[in-house]
Chain A
Amino acid sequence: MATTAGVLDRTVTARRSSGIWRDALGRLMRNRLAVIGGIWVIFLILLAIFGPAIAPWHYDQKDNVAFNLAHGRPAPPFTIPNHPLGLDNYGLDIFSKLLDGAQISMSVAFVAQAVVLLIGIPIGALAGWYGGRLDTYLMRFTDVMYAFPDLLLIILLSVAFRDTDFGRALNGLFLVFVAIGLTSWVTVARLVRGQLLSLREMEFVEAARAIGVSGRKIMTRHLLPNAIGPVTVAVTLGIPTAILFEATLAYLGVGVQPPRASWGKMIAEGVNFIRSAPYLTYLPGLMIASALISFTFLGDGLRDALDPKLKGKQ
């Protein structure tokens, strides 16, 4: 990989026209931490997708035989057959529960960010493109939302809609997506607005306008593609926060509802057995930690790779 990246880089410096994306990819590939983070992210995504197929048990299926052999107590990893990571205090397979937790975390990571984009890009684009009074109103609204403490609003939304059909959809997972999305779009909206404000004064936009390109086409073909870089970075770096919010909600008992096995919920239950069965806490804890670290590495790497200010300095 390193040699390909090296070759790519040399051709790029010789001939700038090969595109900023390949250029950025080359720089990303040379960032060891970003590559490690990226590989682990892909691994977690695969676990989330194929989890139900790999899981030896259903996350909600109690193995009575093995649980009786363990005298009705949690069983540590690698001690009993058929349950590679042991049994929890209910006699459920820890490995299968962790896989379900991966599915919850990864779906929160991507779906909540999709909601963020769905709200943030239109608001930012409208404000940045039309400017004037619309811009003022939208940005005032954004400022107000910024002042609302994130976690409070998420908890408020989760509790208010907990007993509705909408709140019960997907065991409460759907509500978690929406609540996190509704609170986290502000950064993206501000970013897109700022990008458009500076881009729309650029010569290439003026040129496009001069040859009669429609406003809509300028927006979709010229302006938004140029804002993709910073938005990608913001979204990637927003993922750890979303994962953390989901885990915190589950820990407090207002997020994803049982029987789904959120890592945060597993920790909340495991704490009661922290002396006799610490693995009930540290296994999901390690999963959360690895997810947060890998997305942070990847996001940092993307930022360094896409930030033109740092070009040629590394």
Chain B
Amino acid sequence: MVTYLIRRVAWLIPVLFVVSVITFGLMHAVPGGPWSGERNVSAGVQQNINKKFRLDLPIQDQYIAWVGDLLHGDLGPTFKYRDRSVNDVVAEGFPITLQLGLMAFIVAVAFGIPLGIIAALGHNRWPDYLATAVSLIGIATPSFVLAIILVVVFSVWLRWLPGVGDGWKGTLFSDAGREALLKDPVASVRTWVLPVVALAGYQIAQIARYTRASMLEVTRKDYVRTAQSKGIRHRAVVVRHMIRNALIPVVTILGPILAFLITGSFVIEYFFGVPGIGRYYVVGIGQRDYGLIMAMTVLYAFAVAFLNVVVDVLYAYIDPRIRYN
């Protein structure tokens, strides 16, 4: 198990290397630097700027210098937000993105799994049809459309919750954010609800569909029939035999889903004006802000790869039949 873990963590290094090389290559593949859109500056000034941001070096040297800084914990400068480094942007935005992703994950699991179980237990009867209808709506609605519907219903018509532009108040993972949260918890929670639900919607549906299929599969298993024929109460069969076994394959998709929720929130952040790093990513990419894009992509890739390791380990823990060697 320990060897397996070490090997999996070591595997992160080549992954991050390839991801960073691809990103670096793509960003430099086409003519036009981060300043090509701005007003003309004299050649001398341009040269000085290039020198400051090391854009005058050959591309492989730029990459090596970037990796060197990264190993010292320095993600480099952003070109557009000149008074701040990428470290500042990440330190400020990542806690918010992380919290948004984690809360959406909790919502997705808390609604998706019960929905799938209810559908499977009422197979081909109304609970199944109802749960299937709900998950279909989730699958068929892109997050930005769901966001629009939620804002129209809950903030324009019903006026229960704040809408677009009120952003995000208070964060769990930063000191300033926790202060804001403690000062006015209700306001904080109210700004969280719509972005979290809009982000979670699609994944609720995915988890529900997967859980339902897995439950139906388990229902046909011999050990379930054995348990039933032994005269064990239906409830105990469902809880102890069916649900426990049915959830094992569901765990495998939770890793990618968590990764998707943390890295895939930029559409939602952009829509609701949530000040996470996703919003910077959308803006940075349009302005070809190399420093920002490189740092964000590698950070996202690291998050995805790391979560996959966590899920694999969790998988072995839940299902003792699985042995890694």
Contacts of A278 in B (CB 8 A): 152
Which A residues are in CB contact (< 8 Å) with B281?
Answer: 152
List of B residues within 8 angstroms of A151 by Cβ: 263-264
In the complex, A143→B293 CA distance in Å? Answer: 22
* Distance of B127 from chain A, by nearest CB (Å): 17
Q: Does A78 contact B (CB under 8 A)?
A: no
Cα distance A284–B267 when bound, in Å? 18
User: Is the Cβ of B288 less than 8 Å from the Cβ of A159?
Assistant: yes
B133 → chain A closest CB, angstroms: 11
Query: How many residues in B have their beta carbons less than 8 Å from beta carbons of A?
Result: 42
B32 interface contact, C-beta 8 A = yes
Q: For the complex formed, measure the closest distance between the CB of A134 and the CB atoms of chain B, giving whole angstroms.
A: 18
Known: A144-B15, A151-B264, A252-B267. A156 touches B285 (CB 8 A): yes
Contact among B14, B18, B152, B259 for A149, CB-based, below 8 A: B259
- Are A152 and B139 in touch, CB under 8 angstroms? no
Contacts of A161 in B (CB 8 A): 29-30
Contact residues in A for B156 (Cβ distance below 8 Å)? 274-275
Q: Are A163 and B263 in contact (CB under 8 A)?
A: no
Q: Does B174 contact A (CB under 8 A)?
A: no
B220 contacts the other chain (Cβ, under 8 Å)? yes
A248-B139 in contact (CB<8A)? no
Is B270's CB under 8 angstroms from A252's CB? yes
A240 at interface (Cβ–Cβ under 8 A)? yes
Complex Cα distance A156/B15, Å? Answer: 17
Once the chains bind, are B140 and A148 in contact (CB under 8 Å)?
no
Check A240/B26 contact, CB under 8 A, given A144-B14, A252-B270, A267-B144.
no
Asked if B63 lies at the interface with its beta carbon under 8 angstroms from chain A, I say no
Contact (Cβ within 8 A) A149 B142? no
Q: Do A244 and B142 touch across chains, with their CB atoms under 8 A apart?
A: yes
B304 touching A149, Cβ below 8 Å: yes
Mark contacts of A150-189 with chain B using CB atoms, 8 A cut-off: 1 yes-contact digit, 0 otherwise: 0111011101110110000000000000000000000000
Judged by a CB distance under 8 angstroms, whether B297 is at the interface is: yes
B interface, over-half SS: helix
Fill in one digit per residue for A124-160: 1 if any B CB lies within 8 Å of its CB, else 0: 0000000000000000100110011101110111011
Binds B, one of A13-21, A41-49, A199-207, A289-297: A289-297
Known pairs A147-B19, A148-B301, A248-B144; A156 contacts B139 (CB<8 A): no
The answer, among A164, A244, A247, A251, for a CB contact under 8 Å with B30, is A164
Chain A positions 263-312 with a Cβ under 8 Å from a chain B Cβ: 264, 267-268, 271, 274-275, 278, 281, 285, 288-290, 292-293, 296
Asked if B308 contacts A292 (CB within 8 A), the reply is: no
| Residues of A close to B263: CB separation below 8 A | 149, 151-152
Contact of B26 among A160, A275, A289, A313 (CB under 8 A): A160
Across-interface contacts of A292 in B (CB, < 8 A): 139-140, 142
Q: Could you mark each residue 147-170 of chain B with 1 if its beta carbon is under 8 Å from any beta carbon of chain A, else 0? A: 010011000100000000000000
Please pick, from B22, B267, B308, the residue contacting A248 in the complex, using a CB distance under 8 A: B267
Q: Can you list 6 A-B contacts (CB < 8 A)?
A: A147-B19, A156-B27, A274-B152, A281-B148, A292-B139, A293-B136
Residues of A within 8 A of B (CB): 140, 143-144, 147-149, 151-153, 155-157, 159-161, 163-164, 240, 244, 247-248, 251-254, 264, 267-268, 271, 274-275, 278, 281, 285, 288-290, 292-293, 296, 313
